[in-house]
Amino acid sequence: MASIELKDFYHTYDARMGKGETSSFCIENLNIKWGDGKAIALLGPSGCGKTTLLNAISGLIHPKGGSILFNGQDVTALSTKERHVAQVFQFPVVYDSMDVYGNLAFPLKNDRVPRNEIDRRVKEIAGILEIEDLLELPAGNLIPADKQKVSLGRGIIRPDTAAVLLDEPLTVIDPKLQWTLRRKLKQVQRQLGITMVYVTHDQHEALTFADIVTIMSNDGKIAQTGTPEEIHNDPYTPFVGYFIGSPGMNIMECSITSTGFDFDDFAIPIPVGLNEQTLSAGDNYQFGIRPEFVQASMESRDGWLPFTIEIVEDTGAYKITTLKAGKHKIKARIPEEMPVVENNPLWVHFPDKHIKLFQGNKRVF
């Protein structure tokens, strides 16, 4: 298995998209380093360039600039085959007419591995993937979840596989089986110590699968790389704060005065622990607080801020309220038993330890 590194990666598409339109999409100056044997999620909104990056790593597309390194070796000029990467796509790719055994054995047969070694390896991989009972069935007859296991099996059967790249592999899987298959992917990754890059636009999939999450923003840039916990608790930018979490982090524009944060419609003191020297009076900042950390009260409390309840969404386990004060709208997750009513007031408080502060798209606190 291999570590994967992208250095000063640059790519654009100049292919025509039809009707004279061209794609203005561009990935520029992108740098990534992912460790060997890690479960990595590449997460970002639709169209941000995830598939482009994955295809560049596998060699399906060749970047216009920069280099790709596996274990420190430059593989930019190598073909997909020479890179020894396995790719699993949205739609499972299996040889329909072959049985599952034949599908799994195929890469090893191509490599002229001895028959008894092929048999041992096919059974080992089928055991890990829990598809031993399917070995004699035509792959074309399988349900998509099992086909996807076969695609993965074919990818990991070669002992020299450098990495497994998965592009939204659960898209066509029955929702009831998605959880089981994702758990299986993770288990296989751990058991075999595979470097796995899992592309998704779904934060839940990314955070539950990965040791390391890399978030891309709409403009084809890396917004942050970190553990799921770091990404959630310490977003570097308002984009990451908002993109992660359901609902995402509340972000409000504010400025600094001698007494605290001024939001135009209300003001709060500077949180304890924030060194006032790092702030400049008059400057604009983005104030961030996650909905689950907003404290709420149905009665007025000293220092708490009056908001109006616009929407109440009851999930059964808790309520998500949309609250408004002047030009500001925030969401707060509140206990299920709180009998909140739309259009009534709700007093909120932002605990110091959960406040995040950004300026010019970067975290300052």
Closest residue to Mg ion, based on beta-carbon distance = 51
Residue 91 found at the interface with ligand ATP (CB under 6 A)? no
Burial call 96-109: b when 16+ CB within 10 Å, e when fewer = eebbbbbbbbbbbe
Q: Say if strands 21-22 and 85-88 run parallel, antiparallel, or are unpaired.
A: unpaired
Taking the complex as a whole, the smallest distance from the CB of residue 167 to Mg ion amounts, in Å, to: 6
- Which residue, 11 or 147, has its beta carbon nearer to ligand ATP? 11
Residue 151 DSSP SS3: helix
Which residues contact residue 89 at a Cβ distance below 8 angstroms, ignoring those fewer than 6 apart? 151, 167, 169
Of the candidates 8, 17, 179, 269, which one interacts with ligand ATP according to CB under 6 A? Answer: 17
Judged by beta carbon, residue 45 or residue 326, the one nearer ligand ATP is: 45
* DSSP three-state, residue 256: strand
- Write the CA distances from 133 to 92, 137, 348, integer angstroms: 19, 9, 57
Residue 11 binding ligand ATP, by CB under 6 A: no
Beta-carbon-side half-sphere exposure of residue 107 (alpha carbons within 13 Å) = 21
User: Minimum CB separation from ligand ATP for residue 201, in Å?
Assistant: 5
CB nearer ligand ATP, residue 35 or residue 47: 47
Q: Which amino acid is at 74?
A: D
Question: Taking the mean position of all CA atoms in its chain, how far away is CA 314?
Answer: 26
Select from Mg ion, ligand ATP, none the partner in contact with residue 304, using the beta carbon and a kind-dependent cut-off of 5 to 8 Å: none
Binding segment toward Mg ion, per CB under 5 A, in 50-58, 124-132, 213-221, 301-309: 50-58
Among 1, 6, 43, 50, binds ligand ATP (CB under 6 A): 50
Q: How far apart are CA 219 and CA 364, in angstroms?
A: 22
Is residue 52 involved in binding ligand ATP (CB under 6 A)?
Answer: yes
Binding residue for ligand ATP, selected from 6, 30, 41, 49, defined by CB under 6 A: 49
| SS3 category, 315 | coil
87 belongs to the binding site for ligand ATP (CB under 6 A): no
Stretch that binds ligand ATP, among 10-18, 72-80, 149-157, 249-257 (CB under 6 A): 10-18
Nearer to Mg ion, 146 or 168 (CB): 168
Query: Which partner from the list Mg ion, ligand ATP, none does 84 bind, CB cut-off 5 to 8 Å by kind?
Result: none
Residue of 3, 51, 67, 76 interacting with Mg ion (CB under 5 A): 51
In the complex, least distance from residue 358 CB atom to Mg ion, rounded to whole angstroms? 28
- The DSSP annotation for 214-243 comes to EEEPTTS-EEEEE-HHHHHHS-SSHHHHHH
d(CA 142, CA 134): 8
201 binds, among ligand ATP, Mg ion, none (CB under 5 to 8 A by kind): ligand ATP
Q: How many helices (H) and strands (E) does the chain have?
A: 9, 23
Contact 134, 147 (CB under 8 A): no
- To the nearest whole angstrom, how small is the minimum distance from the Cβ of residue 17 to ligand ATP? 5
Q: Which two tokens stand for residue 106?
A: 């195929």
Task: List the structure tokens of 26.
Answer: 């561009």
Residues 100-159 that bind ligand ATP (CB under 6 A): none
Q: Which is nearer to ligand ATP, 57 or 129 (CB)?
A: 57
Q: Could you give the string, one character per residue 262-301, with x where binding to Mg ion holds by CB under 5 A and - elsewhere?
A: ----------------------------------------
Alpha helices in the chain (DSSP H): 50-58, 80-83, 100-110, 115-129, 144-156, 175-192, 203-209, 228-233, 238-243
Name which of 200 and 322 has its Cβ closer to ligand ATP: 200
**Order of strands, sheet of 250-256, starting from the edge strand that comes earlier in the sequence:** 267-269, 260-262, 250-256, 284-289, 356-359, 362-363
Task: Using the rule CB under 6 A, give the single segment among 49-57, 130-138, 313-321, 328-336 that binds ligand ATP.
Answer: 49-57
Site for ligand ATP contains 25 (CB under 6 A): yes
Stretch that binds ligand ATP, among 9-17, 122-130, 203-211, 313-321 (CB under 6 A): 9-17
Residues that bind ligand ATP (CB under 6 A): 13, 15, 17, 23, 25, 44, 46-52, 201
